[in-house]
Each structure stands twice: as C-alpha cells, then as structure tokens.
Amino acid sequence: MQVNDVVAYIQAGRDRFVADLKEWLTIPSISGDPGRAADVRRSADWLADHLRAQGFPTVEIWETSGHPAVYAEWPAEDPDAPTVVVYGHHDVQPVEPLDEWDTDPFHPVEQGDRLIGRGTSDDKGQILFHTLGLRAGLAASGRQAPPVTIKLLVEGEEESGSAHFAELLRARRERLACDAVVISDTTMWSADVPSMCTGMRGLTEAEVTLRGPSRDLHSGSFGGAVPNPLHAMADLLAALHDADGRVTVPGFYDDVVPLTDEERELFARLPFDEDEWLRTAGDSRAAHGERGYTTLERIWARPTAEVNGMWGGHTGPGGKTIVPAEAHAKISFRLVAAQDPSKIQMAFESWVAEHVPAGVEAEVRVPGGGVRPCFSPIDSAGVRAARRAMERAFGTEVLFTREGGSGPEADLADILEAPLIFVAVGLDGDRIHAPNEHVEIPRLLKGAEAAAYLWEELATALR
C-alpha cells in the first residue's frame, strides 16, 4: 500500500464525506433535552444506516434505559488478529445561547475549509472520519476486511453524563471483548502540533459541614470564648495544602503513577505560552500550584484538592456580629491514575475528623462515587503504534497531552479491561459545547488518513 493511495482515496471521497456529515449534523441529537429524544434516536438510525452502507457486516442499535447507542462490527480476515473497540458519541451539546450563533447550529455551513455546526468537531465529525479512513485503508491495501477486528461503539448520552453507559458496557461485556480501545473524542495541541491524549483526571467531591453552637450567637456576648465553626473551617482548609502546595491528606499520593522522564520531556516540547495561558485563565495574575511541576504537569498529571465553595454566617449586606452555628465547604479532588475515588474519599473523611478542634462537630457528605481517572501510558505498544499512524498522516512528530473530562473513558478501560488509545483531531479552538462550533475539513481528513494507517499499525503492535 502506498501512502498516496490512501491520500488519493480520501481526496476523492471528500465531497461525499462532507455531504454525509452535513446530513447527519442536521439531526439535533441533544441528549440533555428530553424533548429531543426522538432526534437522538434518528441520529442513531442515521449512523446505523451509514455504517451498513460503508460495509460493516454487523450493525445494531443497542438500547439503554436512556438514549440508544450504535454498535457495528467488522471482523478481521485473520481470526487471530487483534480486536479493537472504537469509541465515540452521536449525541451533542445543547445550543443555547442561540443568539450567539452566526449560523443555524443544525444547518451546517461551509466557509472555505471550515464546517460550522453543532457536532462538527464533537463528536460526529470525528466518528465519521473513521469510516472514510477504514475504507481508504481497505481500498489502498486491496483487502476486503480490516487487519484488526473493529468494534465501533457510539453512545448517545455522552453529553448528558453517560448515565447508562457503564451499565451497557457491563451488559455487553462479552460482545465488546477487545485488545484495546481507541477513543476519538479528544483534542490535539493545535493544528500545527498534532498530539495524542494520554490520560484524563478523575474527580471526587465532598461537602464538609462544621457545627459549633446550636444557633448563631451574639459575638459581643460569646465571641472569643466558644469555638467559631468559620475559624475551624479556615484552619481546616488552610491545612489541606502544605507550603509546597501538596495535599496533606495522608495517602493522597500513594497510588499516583509518576510522570516518566520521557513524558515530562515531551510535555516540555509543546509550545506552551504561560502568559497567554494565564490570560485564558481569567487573566490570572500568576501561576500557582504544587512545587516542582510545570503548569502543564499540574493541570494534566498531578492530583489536586480545590475548594469550590465555602460559606457560613452572615453573608448579606451590612454587619452582623455573630458566632455562626455552621460553616460549609464544597471541595473537589482531581485525581490521576491510579488513584481510586473511594479511597481518597475515605482518607479525606478521616483527615477531617482528625483536624476538627474540640467543640466542633464535622460532617462529610460525599455525593456519588466520583469519576475514576484514566491513563494511556506513552510507552505502551498500542500508543506507540497509534502515534506512528498519526505521524504518517500529519508528516510531523506527534507529541502528547492530557485532558480533563474522563467518565466513559475510565469505564471502558475498567469494564473492558483494555488499554486506551486516544486518536482524535479536535482542537480547543473548535468551540465545542459553545456557540459556533466548527471544524476544519482538512483536519478531519487527516484524521481519516491516520485512521487508515491505524489498523495495520495496531495489527502488528497488539499481536
């Protein structure tokens, strides 16, 4: 197979690809809007029809307690070939505020190379490049079936929290058995600096209530002689980080997979402009965080504790000199592999109990089980193979990033017990989840090209 054959096939298929994508994009599959349930289903049906037309021998609609997913399978010729699940989602974000869109979000418009509309980048455009890439790979190699068994799983609830996805994975675990999961729902560093995601931070949250007197006390009569829950809360939250910006909860870092020298070196090669980043960070005046790590390492690869909200006592206008009965705080922990949300929750609860002064009662409420982090080590065979495919398509070195998010990704890794490989061509600038979402069509075609090379690279690497 010649590179030129794949490229030629993709160039020839460009108009058909764009026409198909535009047709799909007109379906407003907003999973978060109960009034759009029929549209989400239409979107699933459209994809199922498309996949059949593209030659997938098996295409099924998988029902869930919420919106349907689409499953398609194309077995390798070689029964010993590896199996790869490809994950994406066919639902989209809401479009409010509508008046900030320059075009109708569900009537996609081409402006030069740019395609504007809800779902162009997240995630319909990135699912569709796989079918074009797969067909380009088959055409260029003259094969009738891909070099690995492909199991395409496209869920319909990602933008509303993947509420039934773990359930679906558990129910379909046998059918989804695989050697790796390719995820196409992330971004690259930039159009000029292609990159692959290597992990997503997880999350666990806690709400702390500290109780002192049974009612607000007049501070003139009692102030300075009884414990003030606001003082206790300030002490507690101040003690959550040490002078090096490290979280002080015992065991917090125990399960953290450390950054490798190679990953740190590759992160450092990204053209990161800290001043520009601070501007995007709400004009933050200084970077600040765990000592010994760069800003990118802090936001990508290090766990954090962040106070998201804090309140208690008199918060209205004017003064009210009280010792309040209660103080509250909401705290979230960003987790990295291989931290376990429930272990962190338990460690935090014990820490709070030990740090509350006499006379103050503490309650820690944990809403839900949290989100596990996910991780795709850059030295795995699968990631190295996918990186080669990306580099062949983009003709340049592919670097690595990490991202926020995580949710279905961690479920895929954990329930299917397979390594994750992130292959995607979105950009932060695509305005996903915002008005005027768009994508550059040539970028999607690069994605198709990478997908064309991906299966043969993985066929060798995963064998």
Residue 5 engages a second copy in binding (rule: CB under 8 A): no
Pick the closer one to a second copy by CB: 172 or 334. 334
Of residues 15 through 54, those in contact with a second copy by CB under 8 A are none
Pick the closer one to a second copy by CB: 127 or 329. 329
HSE of 453, CA atoms in CB hemisphere, 13 A? 24
- Binding segment (CB under 5 A) for Zn ion, from list 27-35, 121-129, 142-150, 342-350: 121-129
d(CA 370, CA 406): 11
Of residues 378 through 417, those in contact with a second copy by CB under 8 A are 404-405
- Using CA of residue 187, residue 287, residue 407, residue 399, what is the dihedral sign? positive
CB 393 within 8 A of CB 450: yes
Judged by CB under 5 A, how many residues of this single chain contact Zn ion? 3
By CB under 8 A, name the one of 52, 107, 269, 320 that touches a second copy. 320
Which option in Zn ion, a second copy, none does residue 161 bind, with CB closer than 5 to 8 A by kind? none
Pick the closer one to a second copy by CB: 107 or 365. 365
Pick from 308, 337, 305: nearest CA to 402: 337
By CB under 8 A, name the one of 264, 330, 355, 431 that touches a second copy. 330
Terminal alpha carbon distance of the chain: 20
- Minimum distance from residue 325 beta carbon to a second copy (Å): 7
CB 17 within 8 A of CB 132: yes
Residue 184 engages a second copy in binding (rule: CB under 8 A): no
Element (H, E) at 72: strand 69-74
Q: Which residue has the tokens 């065979």?
A: 381
Pick the closer one to a second copy by CB: 23 or 100. 100
- Minimum distance from residue 221 beta carbon to a second copy (Å): 5
Residue 122 engages Zn ion in binding (rule: CB under 5 A): yes
Measure Cα distances from 16 to 20, 50, 387, 393, 445 in Å: 6, 12, 28, 20, 12
Residue 403 engages Zn ion in binding (rule: CB under 5 A): no
Which option in a second copy, Zn ion, none does residue 185 bind, with CB closer than 5 to 8 A by kind? Zn ion
d(CA 126, CA 266): 25
Using DSSP, state whether 103 is helix, strand or coil.
Answer: coil
* Assigned token pair, 106: 């569900």
Of residues 335 through 374, those in contact with a second copy by CB under 8 A are 357-361, 367
d(CA 184, CA 253): 30
- Minimum distance from residue 433 beta carbon to Zn ion (Å): 8
Residue 157 engages Zn ion in binding (rule: CB under 5 A): no
For residue 53, say if its preceding peptide bond is cis, omega within 30 degrees of 0: no
Pick the closer one to a second copy by CB: 25 or 322. 322
Strand order in the sheet with 374-375: 374-375, 195-200, 399-403
Pick the closer one to a second copy by CB: 361 or 397. 361
- Minimum distance from residue 446 beta carbon to a second copy (Å): 25
CB 114 within 8 A of CB 428: no
Which option in Zn ion, a second copy, none does residue 328 bind, with CB closer than 5 to 8 A by kind? a second copy
Of residues 158 through 197, those in contact with Zn ion by CB under 5 A are 185
For residue 66, what are the contacts with CB-CB under 8 A and spacing of at least 6?
31, 156, 157, 160, 163, 164
Which option in Zn ion, a second copy, none does residue 2 bind, with CB closer than 5 to 8 A by kind? none
By CB under 8 A, name the one of 311, 395, 414, 434 that touches a second copy. 311
Pick from 355, 353, 372: nearest CA to 363: 353
Of residues 263 through 282, those in contact with a second copy by CB under 8 A are 278, 281-282
Using DSSP, state whether 426 is helix, strand or coil.
Answer: strand
d(CA 59, CA 197): 29
Using DSSP, state whether 44 is helix, strand or coil.
Answer: helix
d(CA 44, CA 54): 15
Residue 436 engages a second copy in binding (rule: CB under 8 A): no
Judged by CB under 8 A, how many residues of this single chain contact a second copy? 80
- Minimum distance from residue 162 beta carbon to a second copy (Å): 16
- Binding segment (CB under 8 A) for a second copy, from list 120-128, 136-144, 151-159, 198-206: 198-206
* Assigned token pair, 165: 């996805």
d(CA 207, CA 238): 16
Q: What binding mask, one character per residue, do residues 201-240 give for a second copy by CB under 8 A, x or -?
A: x-x-x------xxxxxxxxxxxxxxxxx-xx-xxxxxxxx
Pick the closer one to a second copy by CB: 25 or 232. 232
* Assigned token pair, 237: 């939250």
Which option in Zn ion, a second copy, none does residue 222 bind, with CB closer than 5 to 8 A by kind? a second copy
Of residues 278 through 307, those in contact with a second copy by CB under 8 A are 278, 281-290, 295, 298-299, 302-304, 306-307
- Minimum distance from residue 422 beta carbon to a second copy (Å): 16
In the complex, which residues of this chain contact Zn ion (CB under 5 A)? 122-123, 185
